Structure 1
Amino acid sequence: MTDGEILIDVKGVAKHFGEGETRVDALRDVDLQVRAGEVVALLGPSGSGKTTLLNVIGCILAPSAGKVTLDGETVFDRQWLRHDLRRLRLDKIGFIFQTHNLLPFLTAEENVAVVLHLAGWSVEKGQARVRELLDYLEVSRRAAAKPALLSGGEAQRVAIARALANRPRIILADEPTAALDSKRAGLVMDLLRKLAAEQEACIVTVTHDEKIFDRFDRLIHLRDGRLADA
């Protein structure tokens, strides 16, 4: 366990959909803390609440009960305490998905730069940050290529660059290696571990990919909306 500061603090979080006989309890009284530098996996069968929990942490879904604190700021306590959730996500959270979700009409570097534009960075500062990230992720030689011309590994690294562009301290990944072979999956996870350590960020990953389990500091299992360390 890392001794870094707590970046994700979820207390008593519940989430249900529907009411009465059709009610589904997706999360039940979940407590979770993740610290800076830590890389954590969320495991469990389909319907166990993994993606729901990721969406609650990512301020995409409002909990039905509980409290969510991100990077020292309580953002939900019976209601949203931040009204501009888009700004909150831009400032604090990076998302990585199973598929890269790059905009097909933009080049690799433009896909990364668009996040910085939305965050209000100057063009000059944004361009420097894009170059820094693409160099760091060893994909700068493909900066002018559009997604259709990138390999799967290259596209995923560009997607990681986009997720990291605004220096978020919380990175949420939903099956980021599912479409990759064992070698590329290992490289992606090694990279995420390096980023967590060097940038004092935390990473929470939903995965079924057993070949990367040894890359995590903790494996956390969800069953029927309840959470327990494994």
Structure 2
Amino acid sequence: MQSLIELSGVSKHFGDGPTRVDALRDVNLTVRQGEVVALLGPSGSGKTTLLNIIGCIVPASAGRVVLDGEAVYDGRWLRRDLRRLRLDKIGFIFQFHNLLPFLNAHDNVALVLTLAGQTAAEAQRRADTLLDYLEVGHRAHSMPAQLSGGEAQRVAIARALANRPRIILADEPTAALDSKRAGIVMDLLRKLAAEQDACIVAVTHDEKIYDRFDRLFHLRDGVLDNQEEFVT
């Protein structure tokens, strides 16, 4: 299986001297296509920092980052246009859907495609297809405030998938959902990873979805120190 994320010796610190904080220390991680993995650990352990480095939002202090076969960071950014990189390769899903409140569900998804340079007609078709696939097509013209928590999260997933990214990063994607809806969302993510040869990395404290992951990675004080396998 092709590796979509390869981290080698990734470290991140904030500040210098006596105020220096080491958020990540010498992290090595490989995630392959089709895999759904979790980052676990207490608050302040470095989970979100690691997700932000994979998502090319913040630079590492040291190490190498390879995404979908392309080296994007090696002591410095190797790509100038990080915005384009994120549009092309990475989809983001958050604990709260962060849908634009002044756009309906359909337009929240189509906007991403328009920003990526697709025509209005192409954006409309792709948005329709995704919302139907995620079984919220009937809510396409509803505003975010009119959606249930589960519906809003599905629209957010549709938005994250709009450009067919091979890397999907999720920060507490089910924390705002009950057990049933959390399970449905994770089953959808697993299905999408398999069908689109993508991978999913999720930060979570949600024990009720642990069995939906292929692997669990534990971060403690910035160190990735344990891995458990699940047979799925």
Q: Aligned partners of 1:26 and 1:56: how far apart in 2? A: 11
Tell me how far 1:169 sits from its aligned partner.
0.2
Look up the equivalent residue of 1:195 and give its one-letter code. L
Q: Aligned partners of 2:146 and 2:70: how far apart in 1? A: 41
Q: Give the one of 135, 138, 152 matched to 2:135.
A: 138
User: What TM-score, normalized to structure 1?
Assistant: 0.98
Q: Give the one of 170, 173, 176 matched to 2:170.
A: 173
Q: Give the one of 120, 123, 126 matched to 2:120.
A: 123
Q: Give the one of 97, 105, 110 matched to 1:108.
A: 105
Deviation string 1:80-107 (CA, Å, 9 cap, x unpaired) is 0001100000000000000000000000
- The equivalent of 1:18 in structure 2 is 15
Tell me how far 1:124 sits from its aligned partner.
1.2
SS at match of 1:138: coil
- The equivalent of 2:46 in structure 1 is 49
SS at match of 2:29: strand
Tell me how far 1:126 sits from its aligned partner.
1.1
User: What TM-score, normalized to structure 2?
Assistant: 0.97
- The equivalent of 2:196 in structure 1 is 199
Tell me how far 1:122 sits from its aligned partner.
1.1
User: What is the percent sequence identity of the aligned residues?
Assistant: 76
Q: Gapped runs of 5+ residues in structure 1? A: none
Q: Which runs of 4+ in 1 moved over 2 A?
A: none
Q: Gapped runs of 5+ residues in structure 2? A: none
Aligned length: 227
Deviation string 1:6-33 (CA, Å, 9 cap, x unpaired) is 0000000000000000000000000000
Tell me how far 1:179 sits from its aligned partner.
0.3
Tell me how far 1:125 sits from its aligned partner.
1.2
SS at match of 1:193: helix
- The equivalent of 2:183 in structure 1 is 186
Tell me how far 1:155 sits from its aligned partner.
0.3
SS at match of 1:125: helix
CA RMSD of aligned residues (A): 0.5
Deviation string 1:43-64 (CA, Å, 9 cap, x unpaired) is 0011110000000000001000
Q: Does 1:89 align with 2:86?
A: yes
Tell me how far 1:161 sits from its aligned partner.
0.1
